[in-house]
Amino acid sequence: FADVEELKPHRLHEHCEEAADEDGHRWCSRSIKKRLEDGSDIELNWRMHINPDRILSLDTEAEHGVKITRCAPDELDLFVPHTHLGHLEAGKFIVGSHFVHNCPHIPESAMYHKIVQVQRKRTSDGGVGKMFHYQLATEAVPHMGYTAKHVNFYFNYMPVEAREDDFWPKRRSYLDLPREQRQQQRRLFNFPGFVQPNAGDFHTQGQTSADMQRTNGIVSFNPDQLSNFGWNWNFFLNETKAPRFVIDQPDTHGTFILENPYVKAHAGCFLNFTSRFEGFMHAPHIIWQAGLNGKGIMQGRLRGALNSTRSMEMEASAYKIPSTVLENFPFLRILTKFEKTRWFSPINHAAGPMPVSFTPGFQFQMEIYHKGPFSGFLATGGSTRGTLRPVLHFDSEKGFMQTLQGELLNTTVYPPLYLIFTKAFEFG
């Protein structure tokens, strides 16, 4: 993540205490806190009770000759030098990030395999005895919690814009690109009939060691990592647009005006993971928290009038927004793209030799329907700014829980003004 050397996988022994228990487990830990060149803060703290001699990391040992040649959910083929033969015994673990393993069944995930049996061992250097080819029967385990008695790590990334007190910080992202190229990164895909704002996609800041394209769209997330995002906001010109939508169909006529709508936010992300292994007959007890920490501004005002002679008589649960409506309301068509989760790029780092990756996502669902003909006028809106800290909690014994902490400032709400004639109307 962000090309920070300290976040790459490292050999474990140098971070471990000398004292060990009867099983060879030692307490190992490391703390990293660093300010990046762009002013962002990054922090990683990890501590684990583990036997470092039971872990073979493909990331750290590739430069010493360890190479995986075939990977399946229950088998591994490796070439290893004679200096690493002690790692290839039943009960020990082989781990690797998706950058180094070639497992077709988990192309974007880290690999954690427990050795069950050595099926075949032979020299691969003509009998010299310096390099060996191993075929192993293995068991894939879900995460690092299975490799140690206790694991705890905390990762936090805070971009400079989210750390500052100013709600209107200067935009820093993509400043290494020419201005013309930067502007091209912030355009919506062309949607017919939509007054196109200059910045309709989610933007992010940070770098990653993997190659990726920077062409983003509001329905095509491909950010570098996680930092800043905005809808209908031009970060360079500090301005917005006022989309206007006109419907002129044989059975429907109407006009909708969005006055200076935008959402602008600067946020960092954090993940706190704890695992406690309670015996071979039980899965590890897992507790983790993941969330965002930042600030944002949102405002907008909607005025609309619609007259439709079309009669709608279906139940709300079966109702789908008609294609004719989606054609005339491009912003509704955009929102339907988010009914399924849209994932950002993974955030990759390591706790010692253990690869760690998590992937933020975004989802939006909406229902709107009416029964019978429709004629009416609706006006509503508001604005606010403040700090938000949404957190998702998980406990393998209790399940999920969500919390939201924050403070909203200078909040203005325009109560809905409406005059609607229809049989039934509902949205949410």
* pLDDT per position as a tens digit, 393-422: 999 999 999 999 999 988 999 888 878 777
CA distance 291 to 393: 9
Rounded distance between C-alpha atoms, residue 91 and residue 110, angstroms: 19
- The pLDDT profile of the chain, 428 residues, written as one tens digit per residue, is 667 788 889 899 999 999 999 889 999 999 999 888 778 888 999 999 999 999 999 999 999 999 999 999 999 999 999 999 999 999 999 999 988 888 999 988 899 999 999 999 998 877 778 899 999 999 999 888 889 999 999 999 888 888 877 766 665 644 334 444 434 433 222 222 322 333 333 233 322 222 222 233 333 333 333 456 666 665 555 566 666 777 777 777 888 787 878 888 888 889 999 998 876 667 889 999 999 888 888 888 888 888 887 766 555 455 555 555 555 555 555 566 667 777 766 778 888 889 888 777 777 666 666 667 878 888 889 999 999 899 999 999 999 999 999 999 889 998 888 787 777 666 65
**Contact (Cβ atoms closer than 8 angstroms) between residue 252 and residue 288:** no
β-bridge partners, 77: 70, 135
CA–CA dist 336, 105 (Å, integer): 30
Round to whole Å and give the CA distance between 203 and 25: 44
- In this structure, the dihedral spanned by the alpha carbons of residues 209, 210, 211 and 217, taken in order and rounded to 10 degrees, is -100
* Other beta carbons less than 10 A from residue 246's beta carbon: 11
Map residue 182 onto helix, strand or coil.
helix
Residue whose tokens read 């022994």: 13
What is the C-alpha separation between 357 and 344, in angstroms, rounded?
A: 12
pLDDT tens for residues 180-218?
Answer: 443 443 322 222 232 233 333 323 332 222 222 223 333
Cβ atoms of 388 and 162 within 8 Å: the answer is no
- Residue 75 CA to residue 116 CA, distance in Å, equals 9
Cβ neighbours of residue 362 closer than 8 Å, sequence gap 6 or more:
202, 221, 338, 341, 342, 344
| pLDDT tens track for 92-130 | 999 999 888 889 999 888 999 999 999 999 988 777 788
CA–CA separation, 272 vs 177, rounded Å? Answer: 34
Q: How distant, in Å, are the alpha carbons of 54, 73, 283, 309, 401 from that of 142?
A: 17, 11, 10, 56, 22
Burial profile 119-142: b = 16 or more Cβ within 10 angstroms, e = fewer: eeeeeeeeeeeeebbbbbebebbe
Please give the backbone phi and psi of residue 215, each rounded to the nearest 5 degrees, phi first. -80, 105
Strands annotated E in 281-398: 285-308, 342-343, 347-351, 354-358, 361-362, 368-371, 374-395
